[in-house]
Every structure is written in structure tokens, then in C-alpha cells.
A and B are shown apart, each in its own frame.
Chain A
């Protein structure tokens, strides 16, 4: 693995442990007993990153936000990877009408603007729990994975060792599961890692415009949304979630690109 890849992996692991451990060591994320005197406090020993307009501890909200944002991203890429590889494998391995129909479905999914679809759905259903938001992101993100897996399936189906399996009399399902699917995993891993960055940004964007994770639930996007109103008098409110976002997306991208270089040296 390249040095940037190791940095990315270390950063991602650090952020993940922050999401797990942070809420345990942080102060309560809810409003302090004295909201008037406790608001807009600068960083101190009691509040490591200060407090916000409602006297809530920013470090605590950042930690809970990490939990929510990273969990949503993880659910989103898991759903996209599962649905995408199932559809991609089916599309790549079935010939004739089924294969062509599935390819049309994938192309249709790719053609739909993801953000618009999400806006419409979220506007229609209103507030939804974060895990469900992750599922929704995954259900709009699978076509890109499916296109990739379909291509890999088509490529691997030409491999002589796949011919050998057919010649031995292996049923098509066995060939698909034992010889073709494992071959798609490197590409899937790369796409999924890069997809984490996408999902984090998408969730933050949706939460920022108020349709994703909605206040008072903390997510990095909704924290930026709330901090925006106090940009002039308390800029540190904005700083913390923004830095977290940049770190998380950069880490996933660095790791993904590094994995691509070592697992798929023939691409790019």
C-alpha cells in the first residue's frame, strides 16, 4: 500500500474510533442547565471545542455526529455494494433478453440525477431515522456499482479458467459464485471505499439543506447548517464539522485510490 493509502487508512480508523469512543468520553451533547451563560463558549477544559448557540458541547455533538454520519455512509455503501453486485452479476452473466433488460435498468438508474431523486423522496416522507437515510442513499447509489460489477463480470467470463470450469461441467451458478464473483471483489472494494467519501458528502449536503439528518440530531451536515447563522460571532462552530468532513472524505479517497493502484494496476 502506498504512503497516502496508509495515511488514509489510519485517518479512517481514527475517525471510526472517534465515532465509537468519542460519545463515551464527551460531555452531554444536550443543552447545558444554564443556556444563557453557557452559549457560545470558547474552547476550554470543560468544553474542548466550546459550546454552540444552545450551550451544547461541540466536541460531544461532533462525536455523536461522527457516529451518525459515518454509520449512514457505511449503511449506504453496504446497501449499494450488495444491490449493485447482485444486479451487476446478473446483468453480466445473463445473455439475451434478461441481460439486456438489466443493463437498461442500470443505465436508467445512472441517468437519474441522484440528488434530485433524494430531495423528492425526502421531501415526501419527511423526517426519517438516520439508518433509513443510509438505506435510501444506498438504494440511489447502486447503479454505479452495478455498472462496474457488470463490466468485471463480462471481462472475467472470458478468462480461460472460466472456460475450464464450464468444460468440467460446473453449473452456471457455481461458476458465477466460485470463479467470477471473487474476481470482482477487488474492483468492488475500491469502488466501495471511494463510495464512502461520496456518501459522507451527500449526507452532509442533504443535512445542510435540511432534508437529511434534521436538527436537533447532530450530523456533520446539520451542524454546519446550524452554525451558518452564527458565522460572524462564533466561527469555531463551523470549523469543527468542516474539518471532520474534509478529513473523512480525504481519508476515504486516499485509501480508495491507493487500493485501486495496488489491486487494479491496469486501470488508469
Chain B
């Protein structure tokens, strides 16, 4: 496991994201203002080989946009994404397509992420065909092996997506991603659309595959308890920025940012003898089209030392007790 301390010393990280920004022109023709929605507003992190970074935050925090921008499914407004040292923005379209073999994605909605008009086998074989990874006659056998690797029957290749449950479809989506033998997979809330009983199975599958194939994950989720089970490091997003990032245990066991504290307090405590005090945040997050000038969290912050500095000056990520945290008063949390 590569902690923050090891980063940058050994080799190049598998994925290096620097100052990633994604702004959307909001409003539209009939809006009064031409607002710019700052979905992602300067995000920096790296992921090592075999490492899993958990990206957590509530809806609208920009975590999915980060995942999509990392894979250039959306073009970032600013910032760089380096994969194995290569700046993705510097690649020609054909070069980028070739590199897509190495980085894949598993989507949130297993019902929309498979083409309903193509057989499961055709969907799983897609990547093998595109990158000509095997002669045509071997493809059915490879597809069968991939389906078995994700816990499905090889004969399912001839069926259509509508014949499967959500969990099975998610396994098909994982098989499709594995077909091109990637080293990095963006898991965009891969289990949040599934029944709780199925969530654990799919999560375990992802864990097994990580070990067997030495995969790196960017694991996006809104559930801290889930991320704790799979992530080596964890990054907490709020309103388009990372407010706390560090080793998963460190951050979850002793969160320093008030927002992380609130998130962690929402995790149910299985031990009834332990007393828990759940932090209920007041109000909604501000609109990403009009964030507060200082700390993005200031409107909902409950930190006792909150003062004028918080509304005036945006806190930067700084090292506090083995993790980086963006809060002026993190030491006294």
C-alpha cells in the first residue's frame, strides 16, 4: 500500500491529477445570468499501482465529474491528468483510444450502461474487437472466461441485458471493463444502485479482482462505510474541492475536517455499547454556480472556532496529523 508519504518518491504514480477544473456554462438562453457552474474546482490527487483511492462526497460534490474527466469522457476546463506519466491532453485522438485499454470505468446504473439491443457477449467482446486483442475465433472463449471470472455462466453471452438482475448486469459491466486488461478502473458508485444484499457480493468481486489482476481503483461513492472496506486512501469532496485526503483509516477514525466528521458520524455504529453522536448538517450545500468566497463549507460549518477568516480566505490543503485537510482550524478539531 502506498501512503501519502510514499508518493512521488517511488517511480511515477499510475495516475496523477493536478489542479483539475471542470466548469459548465449554466443558465441558458432564458436565464438572467450566464452563471458558470464550478462542478470541479481544482482537484489534485494521485493513485499508485495496486492502490485504491476512495472518493466520497454527497450528490453534486463533483465526484462523478472527476471520474469522467480523468478518463476524458469529459474534457477538463483546466488541469492535467497524467496516466503512467503521459499527459492525456497531449495525445492525438487515436493515441488516446489506444490508451483507453489501460483505463476503464464501471458505471453506476447497471440498467443504462449496457446496450439493450446487443447481446451480453457482444458487449463484453467490444473491447477485444476494438483493440484486436485476440483472433476472431478465440473471442467467444475469452468472453466465456471473462463472464466466469465475474461469477456468471459462460452461456449468458447469448442473452440480452433485460434478462438479468441489477447485480448480474453490474458483473457484466465489470467483465466488459476487464476484457481489455486495464490496470486502472474508475468505479463510479458501482454498487449504490444495487440491493444491499447484492452490494457486498459485487464489492467482494471488485476486491478479488484487484488482488488477482493488480488493479488500481478510483472508487467513487457517497457511503463512507462502503469506501472503508475497499480504499487504501480516501479523498472527501465538497462543492468541487477536496477538503480532506489521506490514509483511509486515519481519515475515517479521526477526521479533521468538520465535513468529514459529519460524513463519518452518519455511518451506523454496529457496537451498541459505543455512544455515537450523529452530526446533522444544517441546510443544503450552496449552489456550485455561486460558491461562498472563503471556505466552501462555511455556510454549514459547526466548528466552534469558525470566524471571519473562514468567510474571507479559502483554506488550502495542508498536512495535519498524517493527512491533508483544507480547514483553517483543523488542529483543534
**Which A residues form the contact surface with B (CB < 8 A)?**
159-161, 163-171, 174, 178-179, 182-183
Look across to chain A and name the residue whose beta carbon is closest to the beta carbon of B114. Answer: A161
Residues of A near B98 (CB, < 8 A) are 169
Question: Quick one: which of B68, B107, B109, B176 contacts A168, CB cutoff 8 A?
Answer: B176
Question: Quick one: which of B100, B109, B117 contacts A167, CB cutoff 8 A?
Answer: B100
Please report the C-alpha to C-alpha distance between residue A168 and residue B132 in the assembled complex, in whole angstroms: 12
Residues of B near A164 (CB, < 8 A) are 105, 107, 113-114, 173, 176
Q: A165-B126, A168-B127 are in contact. List 4 more A-B contacts (CB 8 A).
A: A161-B112, A161-B113, A164-B105, A168-B176
Known A-B contacts A160-B109, A174-B130, A178-B118; A167 and B104 likewise in contact (beta carbons under 8 Å): yes
**Which B residues form the contact surface with A (CB < 8 A)?**
68, 71, 73, 96-101, 104-105, 107, 109, 112-115, 117-118, 123, 126-127, 130-131, 173, 176, 180
Question: Quick one: which of A171, A179, A182 contacts B97, CB cutoff 8 A?
Answer: A171
Please report the C-alpha to C-alpha distance between residue A168 and residue B107 in the assembled complex, in whole angstroms: 13
Q: Assess the A170–B71 pair: CB atoms within 8 A.
A: no
Please report the C-alpha to C-alpha distance between residue A167 and residue B131 in the assembled complex, in whole angstroms: 12
Please report the C-alpha to C-alpha distance between residue A170 and residue B94 in the assembled complex, in whole angstroms: 10
- The distance from the CB of A155 to the nearest CB of chain B, in whole angstroms, is 12
- The distance from the CB of A234 to the nearest CB of chain B, in whole angstroms, is 54
Q: Assess the A159–B101 pair: CB atoms within 8 A.
A: no
Please report the C-alpha to C-alpha distance between residue A168 and residue B262 in the assembled complex, in whole angstroms: 37
- The distance from the CB of A189 to the nearest CB of chain B, in whole angstroms, is 13
Look across to chain B and name the residue whose beta carbon is closest to the beta carbon of A159. Answer: B112
Look across to chain A and name the residue whose beta carbon is closest to the beta carbon of B104. Answer: A167
| Number of residue pairs A-B, CB distance < 8 angstroms | 59
Residues of B near A179 (CB, < 8 A) are 115, 118
Look across to chain A and name the residue whose beta carbon is closest to the beta carbon of B176. Answer: A164
Residues of A near B99 (CB, < 8 A) are 169
Residues of A near B117 (CB, < 8 A) are 182-183
Look across to chain B and name the residue whose beta carbon is closest to the beta carbon of A166. Answer: B73
Q: Assess the A169–B176 pair: CB atoms within 8 A.
A: no
Look across to chain B and name the residue whose beta carbon is closest to the beta carbon of A170. Answer: B130
- The distance from the CB of A256 to the nearest CB of chain B, in whole angstroms, is 21
**What are the 3 tightest A-B residue pairs by CB atom distance, in nearest-first order?**
A169-B100, A169-B97, A160-B113
Look across to chain B and name the residue whose beta carbon is closest to the beta carbon of A156. Answer: B115
Known A-B contacts A164-B107, A182-B117, A183-B117; A169 and B112 likewise in contact (beta carbons under 8 Å): no
- The distance from the CB of B69 to the nearest CB of chain A, in whole angstroms, is 13
Residues of B near A169 (CB, < 8 A) are 96-101, 127, 130-131, 180
Q: Assess the A163–B73 pair: CB atoms within 8 A.
A: yes
Please report the C-alpha to C-alpha distance between residue A171 and residue B129 in the assembled complex, in whole angstroms: 12
Q: Can you report 6 A-B residue pairs in the complex whose CB atoms are below 8 A from each other? A: A160-B109, A161-B114, A161-B115, A169-B131, A170-B97, A174-B130
- The distance from the CB of B117 to the nearest CB of chain A, in whole angstroms, is 5
Residues of A near B109 (CB, < 8 A) are 160
Residues of A near B115 (CB, < 8 A) are 159, 161, 165, 178-179
